[in-house]
Structure 1
Amino acid sequence: MKRNWLQALLFGAALSAAAAFQAGHSWADTLFGAMEKAYVTNPTLNAARAGQRATDELVPQALSGWRPTVTVQGEVTSESSRAPSFFTGEQEQDRTESGSLAIRLNQPLFRGFGTVESIRAAEAQVDAGRQGLLETEQQMLFNVVQAYMNVYAGRQLVSLRKQDVSALEAQVRASNERFAVGEITRTDVAQAEARLAESRTALVDVQTRLAQDVAFYMQMVGNEPGRLSYPKISKLPPSLKAALDIAGEINPRLLAQAFVEVASNAQVGVARSGLLPSADLRAAAITADPDFSVEGNGQRSASITAAISIPLYEAGLVYSQVREAKQRASQSRIELIEIARDVRRAVAESWNAFVGLAEIIRNTRTQVRAAQLALSGVQQEYQAGTRTTLDVLDAQREVVQAQVLQVQAEKSRVIAGYQLLAAIGKLTARDVGLKVPVYDPEANYLRVRNKWIGTGVETIDGNGE
C-alpha cells in the first residue's frame, strides 16, 4: 500500500515536471512572482510552519500544571469458593460479587514556582520558534533569488557562448579559405580550430550549469522558469551603520537566540522547583459494595485532603539538574554574543559586496565596449594583413571574457542586495511587499493556548493554509 502511494506521488510529480517542460518559455516570470509562489507552496517553509504549530502546544502543556486531574476507577470482583457442608459433608459452592467506584480529583496548589517557570520557558520557546520561522522564510526567499538570478544569468551566458562558437566557426572557415590560397599557414588554422574546441567546451559547461540551476529553481518555486527579466532591488538601508542598527533590532536569528536565552534562564527555575515544597488539594468520592446479593450493604465515602510535601534530600539529583540548567543558560548567553557578531559580519560583508559590485559593473561595461572596439580594429587589420590569426582570436576571447564578467557582476549585485536584506532581517513577505496572504503564526497559538480539551487540529496543507 505504501509503495503504491509513493509511486503515485512520484508519477504525479513527473507529470507536473513534464507539463512545465512542455510549456517551455511561453510565459514570463518576475522575481516577485517567483517569490510569491514559493512563499505559498514551498514545502520547506510549510513544514516549518507545521513545526511551529507543534511548538505552540508547549504553552498549553505548561499551563496544565495549574489545572486539576480527574480520574475514575471502577472494580468488579466475582469470587467463588467450594467447601464441605457441616451437616451433609457434600461440597457446597459459595459465590460472591462485589464492586467499587472511585472518583478522584487532584488540584495542584503550589509546585515550587515550577509551573510559573515552565510557562515562561514555553512562551519564550514559542517566540524563538516564530523568529526561527522568519529565518526559514528569509532563507527560502533568498534561495529563490539565487535560483532566479542563476537561471537569468545562465541563459545569458549560454547565449554569449553560442555567439562565440558561431564567430569562431566563421573564423575557422575563413582561415581554411586563406590557407587554401596560401595567405596563412597551417599553424593559423590549427590555432583557430583549437580556440573553437575550447569555446564549445565552455558552451557545454554553461549549459550543464544552467540545467542544474533550472532544477534548483523548480525545487524552490515549483515550476520551470519562463521568460525572466532583470529585477529591481528592494529598498536598502542608506548606510552600513543604518543596516547594522536595523539588524540589531529585528534580525530573526538574533532575536531567536535571545528568546532561547530567556527560556534557558526559566529552565533554571524549573529545575530549582524540585528543591521547594509542593502542595495539592485532593478530593475523592468512593462507593463500594462488598456483596451485590445483599441489599443495603453498600458503603459510600467522600474526602477532601490538603497535602504538602517538603523535599529534604533527593540523592543529589535535583542539585545536579539545577547546576546543569545554569550551565545551559550560560551557554545560551555566550551563543547570543557569537550570533550577534556573526550577524554584524554578514551585514558588513553583504553591504560591501553590494557597494563594490556597483563599481565592478561600471568597469565591466567599459571593458566590454573597449574590447568590442579593439576586436573590430584587429579584424580590419587582419584583413589588411597587419595582424595574425592569433591576434583576432585573442581579441575575440577578451570580448567574451568581458561580457561574462559583466553578466556575473550584474547577477552577483542583485544577490548581494537581497543577501543584505536577509542579513538585517527584512527579506520577508511583509517587508518585501509580496502580494500574498501573510502567514500569521499567532492565529494558531491563540487557538490552542487556553484549550482544555480536544484533539482536533488545523494542519498545514501543501498550499500553506
Structure 2
Amino acid sequence: MGGRTAKVGHVRRRVVRSGICVGVVVACAGFAASAAHGETLAEALAKAYQTNPVLNSERARQRATDENVPQALAGYRPQIVAGLGAGLQAVRDLLPGNTFQSANLKPWTVGVTVTQTLFNGFKTANSVRVAELQVQAGREALRNVGQGVLLDAVTAYTNVLANQSLVEAQRVNVAFLQETQGIVQKRLDAGDVTPTDTAQAEARLSRGRADLNAAEVNLAISQATYAQVIGNPPSQLRPAESVDRYLPRSRDDATNLAYRQHPAVLAATFDVDVASTTIRVAESSLLPTLTLQGSASRSRDNDPTLGTFGTDQASVVGQLNAPIYDGGTGASQTRQAKQLAAQSRLMLDHVRNQARTAAVGAWVSHEGAKVAVAASEAEVRAATVALQGVGREAQGGQRTTLDVLNSQQDLTLAKARLIVAQRERVIASYTLLSAIGKLDVKTLSLNTPDYLPEVHYHQVRDAWHGLRTPSGQ
C-alpha cells in the first residue's frame, strides 16, 4: 500500500512540474516574438507607407487632380490654331462672246489664328479657384487614406504577433496534455485510476489539438494579410508598443481635435468651398463674353475666276457676345449648383458628427483596453498561484490529476486572454491617434521620406506644354 501511495505521489509531482513548466513557457511567449533582431513595427509601417498599392494608387489620383489647375489656368492663355489646306481644282469659266477659259488649279492656303478671351463672366477665375480647392480636398483625402493604411499595418503586425504567441501557447498546452494522457494511461494499467480518468485526459487532449489547429489557421491568415498590407511576409517581428505619448489627455480633447483637424473633416470643408465656388462658375454662363482674335493667312490658286493668283490677309477682330436666352440651361445649372452646395454643407455636418463619434469610441476603447490588460495580468497572476497551490495539494494527495489539468487549462486560457488584451491595447492606441487625425509619418517619426503632394502640384501648375509627367512617363 505504501509503495502504491509513493507511486501516485511521484506521478502527481510529474504532472505538477509539467504544469508549472507550461506557465513559464507561455509567460515567456507573451505578446512578443523572439528577442533576436527582427522587423520592428516602425519598420513595417515605413514599408507600408512606401509600397502599399492602395496608398500609391491614391497618390496617383491626387497627381491627376493636380492637373485640374493648369487646365483651368488655360482659360487665361491664348488659343493658337494653324491651318493648312491644299488640293486640285478644275475651272472652266464662260466669258462674254460665248468663249471659255479653263485651267487646272492647285490651290493651297496656310494661316494661323490667335484667340484671347478677355472676359468670360469670371468663369476662368472661379474655375481656377475650384481646381485649387479640389487639390486641397484631395490632399486631405490622401492623408485620410494614409492613416487607414498605417492603421491596417498596425493591425496586421499585432495580429501576427498575437497569433504567433497563441500558437506557441497551444503547442505547449498540447505537449503537456500528451504527457498527462500518457501518465494517466500508465496509472490505468497499474490500476490507480479508472477508465473515466483516461477518457477525460483523452478528451482534453483532443480539445487542445483542435485549439492548436484553430490558432495555426488564424496565424496563416494573419501572415497573408501582413504580406498584403506591408508588402513582404513577416519574419522575426519585434514587440509592439502603444503610442500613448501622442494621445490627448481627455475625451473632450480627443473630440475637439477630431472635430477640427481630422482629414475627413478638412476634406469635407474644402468640398463645401468647391461647391460654393461652382455656383459662380455656373452663373458665368449668364454673363457676356469678350474675345480678341487675330489671324493671318496666305492663299494661292484659289480664285475660280482666274483673276487673282494669290491673296495675303491679316485681321484683328474683337467680339462681344451677350446671352439673351439659352433655353434655361444656365439658370438650371445655377440652381443645381446651389443644391449641391447645400448637400455638401449637410455632408460636412455628417462627417463632423462621424469624426466626433469615432473619437469618443476610440477613447472609450483605449481606456477599456488598458483596464482589460490590467485585469488579464491579475488573472494570470492568480491562475499561476492557483496552479502552484493545486500542485502542492496534489502532492499531498488532496487533489487529483484532473484538478491539476483544470488549473493548468485555466492558466493557459488566462494567458491567451492576456495576449489578446495586449494586442487590443496597441491597436486601440493607434486607432485613437487616427481618430484625432495624427496617425502619420511625422507624428510617428518613421524612418521614411514623407510624401509631399505639393511637390508635384508646383511642378505642373504653371506648365504651358509638355506631355511627359514629372516622373518622365
Task: Quickly name the TM-score band, shorter chain normalised.
Answer: 0.7 to 0.9
Structure 1: give runs of 5+ residues left out of the alignment: 1-23
Taking the aligned partners of 2:130 and 2:395, their CA distance within structure 1 comes to 80
Query: What do the CA deviations read for 1:251-285 (whole angstroms, capped 9, x no partner)?
Result: 11111111111111111111111111111111111
Taking the aligned partners of 2:195 and 2:331, their CA distance within structure 1 comes to 89
In the other structure, the counterpart of 2:299 is 288
**2:207 corresponds to which of 198, 214, 231:** 198
In the other structure, the counterpart of 1:248 is 259
**1:170 corresponds to which of 159, 173, 179:** 179
Q: Is the 8 A contact 1:102 1:287 kept in 2?
A: yes
Taking the aligned partners of 1:460 and 1:198, their CA distance within structure 2 comes to 60
- Cα pair distance change 1:129/1:273, threshold 3 Å: same
Taking the aligned partners of 2:340 and 2:405, their CA distance within structure 1 comes to 65
Taking the aligned partners of 1:26 and 1:388, their CA distance within structure 2 comes to 40
Structure 2 length as normaliser, TM-score?
0.86
Q: Is the 8 A contact 1:365 1:406 kept in 2?
A: yes
Q: Is the 8 A contact 2:37 2:238 kept in 1?
A: no
In the other structure, the counterpart of 1:315 is 327
**2:337 corresponds to which of 322, 325, 336:** 325
**Displacement, 1:246?**
2.2
SS of the aligned residue for 1:29 comes to: coil
In the other structure, the counterpart of 1:62 is 72
Q: Is the 8 A contact 2:62 2:453 kept in 1?
A: yes
In the other structure, the counterpart of 1:52 is 62
Q: Is the 8 A contact 2:282 2:334 kept in 1?
A: yes
Q: Is the 8 A contact 2:122 2:281 kept in 1?
A: yes
In the other structure, the counterpart of 2:153 is 144
Matching of residue 455 in structure 1 with residue 470 in structure 2: no
Taking the aligned partners of 1:380 and 1:166, their CA distance within structure 2 comes to 22
Taking the aligned partners of 1:224 and 1:284, their CA distance within structure 2 comes to 65
**2:112 corresponds to which of 98, 103, 108:** 103
Query: What do the CA deviations read for 1:206-234 (whole angstroms, capped 9, x no partner)?
Result: 11111111111111222222222222323
The residue correspondences of 1:337-352 to structure 2 (distance < 5 A) are 337-352=349-364
Query: What do the CA deviations read for 1:419-454 (whole angstroms, capped 9, x no partner)?
Result: 111111111111111121111111111111111111
In the other structure, the counterpart of 1:11 is none
Q: Is the 8 A contact 2:387 2:407 kept in 1?
A: yes
Query: What do the CA deviations read for 1:300-340 (whole angstroms, capped 9, x no partner)?
Result: 22221111111122112222211211111111111111111
**1:229 corresponds to which of 225, 238, 253:** 238
In the other structure, the counterpart of 1:135 is 144
Matching of residue 305 in structure 1 with residue 314 in structure 2: no
- Cα pair distance change 1:83/1:326, threshold 3 Å: closer
**2:89 corresponds to which of 79, 82, 93:** 79
* Amino acid corresponding to residue 146 of structure 1 in structure 2: T
In the other structure, the counterpart of 2:421 is 409
Taking the aligned partners of 2:93 and 2:335, their CA distance within structure 1 comes to 65
- Cα pair distance change 1:81/1:259, threshold 3 Å: same
Q: Is the 8 A contact 2:137 2:268 kept in 1?
A: yes
- Cα pair distance change 1:295/1:345, threshold 3 Å: same
In the other structure, the counterpart of 2:44 is 34
**Displacement, 1:295?**
11
SS of the aligned residue for 2:391 comes to: helix
Q: Is the 8 A contact 1:49 1:460 kept in 2?
A: no
CA-atom RMSD, angstroms?
2.6
Which structure's CA Rg is the greater one?
Answer: 2
Identity of aligned residues (%): 37
Query: What do the CA deviations read for 1:351-381 (whole angstroms, capped 9, x no partner)?
Result: 1111121121111111111112212322343
Taking the aligned partners of 2:472 and 2:437, their CA distance within structure 1 comes to 25
Taking the aligned partners of 1:83 and 1:414, their CA distance within structure 2 comes to 94
Taking the aligned partners of 2:202 and 2:471, their CA distance within structure 1 comes to 62
Q: Is the 8 A contact 2:116 2:293 kept in 1?
A: yes
In the other structure, the counterpart of 1:219 is 228
Query: What do the CA deviations read for 1:371-396 (whole angstroms, capped 9, x no partner)?
Result: 12212322343454433444333222
**Displacement, 1:165?**
0.7
Taking the aligned partners of 1:262 and 1:344, their CA distance within structure 2 comes to 22
* Amino acid corresponding to residue 288 of structure 1 in structure 2: S
Structure 1 consecutive aligned stretches of length 4 or more whose deviation exceeds 6 Å:
292-296
SS of the aligned residue for 1:314 comes to: coil
Taking the aligned partners of 1:61 and 1:94, their CA distance within structure 2 comes to 49
Matching of residue 434 in structure 1 with residue 446 in structure 2: yes
* Amino acid corresponding to residue 30 of structure 1 in structure 2: T
